Structure 1
Amino acid sequence: MELNNKNILVVGLAKTGVACARFLAGRGARVTVTDMHDEAVLLPQLAQLAAWNIRKVLGRHDEGDFTGADLIVVSPGVPQDHPLLVKAKAADREIVSEIELAARFIDVPLVAITGTNGKTTTTTLAGEIFKANGYRTFVGGNIGNPLIELLESGELVDQVVAEISSFQLEWITAFRPQVAVLLNLSEDHLDRYADYQEYIDAKLRIFKNQDESNFAVVNRDDELVWKYAQGLKAQLFPFSRRQELAEGIFHRDGVIVYRHNGREECFPTNAIRLQGVHNLENIMAALACALLSGCRPDDSFEAVQGFTALHHRMEFVAEVNGVRYYEDSKATNVGSVEKALESFDNITLIAGGKDKGGSYTPLALLVKERVRHLVLIGEAAGRMQAELGHLTDTRLATTLEEAVTLAGHITEPGGIVLMSPACSSFDMFRDYEERAERYIAAVKRL
């Protein structure tokens, strides 16, 4: 792809936009960056561009920049239906996402992982497995560093492992992973998409350009994933924790079994440190990515055994008066909370936050069977109480700290207090990390 002297517009100056602008300018493109924030807000980002001759349009967007560009690179936060992108598309301007731009220049195998939940854990673990097998591995995408930063750095690698969001997949045209993973599907980001189907369609684009030489690693136990996996061009490789598979990777009687082309490998799960039924799925998906890519079974499983939970994902905080406290602040949708509830019994669940538009009723059976007390906070508390409150003892709290104190009073020894919100954090906190920190501090005060 020739970039020299091309007129390229970068829309959005978050981390991805800044990295794209630097890369493009370094390849000789005439770059314009545009962002609705003004210069005062964007000073840290602008400082990273100071060494480059880049035109800046801040505090506004100019239509001519969109309709006159040879190429438009869109940051993930910019929706597809933005009026100026609609006009640019009508003017036959080429529009791509950062991952599409990066993939056109990446010449090593790429593993791409998406899904509503578990992406970060699976991506990080897969990266560790490749590294344990001696591969020089770049791990990034929707976590850590954007893919474009690998190209900008000039780092020599053998393998790329990327977490990919639905937003990043919206503007791909040729992005083609050697191994593409769809972990699960549940309602999310309905504040961005017109409906659930539009969100699903965005996720499925990860398989769009694969062919028979590639692999599609999919969750056999997720009905929606399995339904949409039928008819893919890539070789289908399922994972399951509920059923035995003739071809794929599955869990049975404390053993993970990998079967591919007549070969079988077995991995006992008793020494694995990463706990939770959802993490069993993440482990199988990560192992599938690595083994299908030629990694050695022994080195791969050794990496799995040494891997522990990531921050803010089902993380053990403390035991106080015989009650164990877990923090799962990254659980910002219903599907993620389902997995968390499947991992415990006798739960006091702290949930709530900024509502994202989906239904909470998929949690009903698990709440009825496993949640002894439900403590609700935030903007979504009223809706959650209406949909779930009749199923168990339900209380309301005005702050997270109050919720933790209340949970400590009502949970009997042997019980679990789990903060797994099913909502985003933006009604009460800066982000999910601040919510986690506040929860941990409240537990420690107990």
Structure 2
Amino acid sequence: MVIKGKKFLVVGLGVSGAAAARFLKKRGASVTVTDKAKEEDICPLAGEMRKMGIKLELGRHKIDSFENSDVIIISPGVSDTIEPIKRAKEKGINVIGEIELASRFIKEPVVAITGTNGKTTTTELLAEMLEYSGFNLFVGGNIGNPLIEYLDKNNRAEIVVAEISSFQLDTINTFRPKIAVLLNITEDHLDRYPDFEAYAQAKAKIFKNQQNEDIAVLNGADRFIRLMTENIKSQKCFFNFHNANEKGAAITGENLVVDISGGQKYFFDLSSINLFGGHNMENIAAACLGALAAGGTIGGIEKALRNFKGLSHRLEYITSINNVKYFNDSKATNVDAVSKAIESFSRPIILIMGGRCKGGNYDILGDQIRRNIKKLILIGEAGETIKSALQHKCKGGIKSADTMEEAVFFANQAASPGDIVLLSPACSSFDMYRSYAERGEIFCKAVAILRETDDRQKR
């Protein structure tokens, strides 16, 4: 791909867009960055771009800039169906994303992980397995560092491990991971995609360019995934369920049994793992398959399983107050993630849900709400929508809160010793917070204040 002297338009000045702009400018391109945000909202990045000699068009998109570019790099937060992009495509202008741009220059093998839920946990765990196996890695993509930043690192990695979102897969053409992992596909981002089928097809693009010598790690219990990947070229390994003639991994009791080499089986002890819940067992199995396929050692995988601590905002245990346990699952931004969280507990749950709706079907939770939820507390824009779907399901009733602090207060009032208080929103955070992480942190602070108040009262 020729960069020097070409006119590139980067759409979206977020972390990914800024990284792409830096990469292109350093290699002699004429770079313009456009973002509908005003400069005061993206001040630090805007200043940096200007110092590098990158032209900025902020506050609106200029159609002429799109139509007069040689190549357009679109950030994952920007839909490729907006009118300026449509116009550029009609003129035959190449529109790609930062992942596709990076893949044109990365020579090392790539392990790519996607799925509706569990991507970050699986990516981090798989990376630790390979690091403990002695590999030098770059870990990035939809997690931490943009993939394009790898190309400006002084030290070359032996393997690149990348978390990849559906938004990033929307704009690939030639991206070809050596190992591609698809964890699951359930309803999500229906505020961006026209329907579930379109969202699922975006996820499936991770296998688009794989060849016979490449490997696909798939959720064998998901009939839709099996059907969707029936004709892919790569070699298949299944987790969660696999037939006798298939390579794969299965959980039996407290052991993970892996068979990927013609009958030779590997056994991994999961009795001391720091993750819990059936969904995390699936993530572990997928990570083991991906790590072994990439050359990971048995010892390295076992060490990672012993040491992995889990990630913040993902069924994260916070504290116990009067024998009531508090869990932060703020990263649960869709209905299926909430369902998996509820499945992880056998005790009565006071559930805090809500935020900005992503088009999910809350009715799916009805039976679990009836069986497992003692009280449902709602926050955010989607509160009334969720209430309408679930108001007759919760035996302990539904209560609305204006703030997270109020929600935690109501949850404490409803809880009895032995109960669980769980923040698992099923929605994005952008109605009230800058990110799911900020939402989770506010929850944790509210719980900490509750704990301090309780401790003072007991003195």
Q: Is the 8 A contact 1:313 1:328 kept in 2?
A: yes
Moved more, 339-348 or 430-439: 430-439
1-structure distance, mates of 2:245, 2:389: 37
Cα shift readout 1:355-396 (whole Å, capped 9, x = no counterpart): 111211221222222222222222222222222222222221
Q: In the superposition, relative to structure 1, how do residues 109 and 98 fare at CA in structure 2: closer, same or farther (>3 Å)? A: same
Does the 8 Å contact 1:99/1:141 carry over to 2? yes
1:325 aligns with 326
1:410 and 2:405 matched: no
Query: Which residue, out of 380, 393, 398, partners 1:395?
Result: 398
Q: Where does the alignment leave 5 or more consecutive residues of structure 1 unmatched?
A: none
| Equivalence for 2:455 | none
Query: 1:37-52 to 2 correspondence within 5 Å?
Result: 37-52=37-52
Residues 411 and 14 (structure 1), Cα distance of their counterparts in 2 relative to 1, 3 Å cut: same
1:54–1:379 Cα change, 3 Å:
closer
Match of 1:433 among 431, 437, 442: 437
**Does residue 349 of the first structure (1) align with residue 347 of the second (2)?**
no
User: For each residue in 1:194-246, what CA deviation from the matched residue of structure 2 results, as whole angstroms up to 9, or x when unmatched?
Assistant: 11111111111111111111111111122322221222111111100698884
Q: Which residue, out of 350, 358, 361, partners 1:359?
A: 361
Q: How does 1:5-404 map to 2 (within 5 A)?
A: 5-240=5-240, 246-262=246-262, 263-345=264-346, 346-392=348-394, 393-398=396-401, 399-404=403-408
Once the 2 structures are TM-superposed, how far is the Cα of residue 353 of structure 1 from its aligned partner?
Answer: 1.6
Distance 1:34 1:410 in 2: 49
- In the alignment, the residues of structure 2 paired with residue 68 and residue 444 of structure 1 have an alpha-carbon distance, to the nearest angstrom, of 54
**Range with bigger deviation, 185-194 or 386-395:** 386-395
Structure 2 CA distance, aligned partners of 1:156 and 1:105?
13
SS of the equivalent of 2:313 reads coil
Structure 2 runs not aligned, ≥5 long:
451-459
Counterpart residue type for residue 427 of structure 2: C
Contact 1:244 1:250 in 2 (8 A): no
Q: State the secondary structure of the residue aligned to 2:174.
A: coil
Q: 1:181 to 1:46 in 2, by over 3 A?
A: same
Quick check: 1:243–1:250 contact (8 Å CA) kept in 2? no
Q: Is contact 1:377-1:396 (8 Å) kept?
A: no
SS in 2 for 1:49: helix
Contact 2:130/2:300 (CA < 8 Å) preserved in 1? no
Q: CA 1:39–1:406 in structure 2 vs 1: closer, same or farther (change >3 Å)?
A: closer
In 2 relative to 1, CA 142–402 (structure 1 residues): closer, same or farther, beyond 3 Å? same
> Which shows bigger deviation, 429-438 or 132-141?
429-438
Q: TM-score, normalised by structure 2?
A: 0.93
CA distance in structure 1 between the aligned counterparts of 2:367 and 2:243, rounded to whole angstroms: 22
Change (3 A) 1:245 1:139: farther
- Greater mean deviation of Cα atoms: 176-185 or 375-384: 375-384
Identical pairs, percent = 45
The Cα offsets for residues 39-80 of structure 1, whole Å up to 9 and x where unpaired, read as: 333321123224423222222322222122211111111111
SS at match of 2:397: strand
Q: Structure 1 residues 371 and 223 mapped into 2: Cα distance closer, same or farther (>3 Å)?
A: farther
* Partners of 2:237 and 2:246 within 8 A in 1: no
Match of 2:424 among 420, 424, 430: 420
Q: Is this contact kept in 1: 2:238–2:246, CA < 8 A?
A: no
Once the two structures are TM-superposed, the CA of residue 443 in structure 1 deviates from its matched residue by 1.5
Question: Secondary structure of the equivalent of 1:48?
Answer: helix
Q: 1:407 aligns to what SS in structure 2?
A: helix
Counterpart-to-counterpart distance in 2, 1:389 and 1:80? 37
CA–CA distance in structure 1, aligned partners of residues 43 and 423 of structure 2: 36
Q: Could you say what secondary structure the match of 1:61 adopts?
A: coil
Maintained 8 Å contact 1:180/1:206: yes
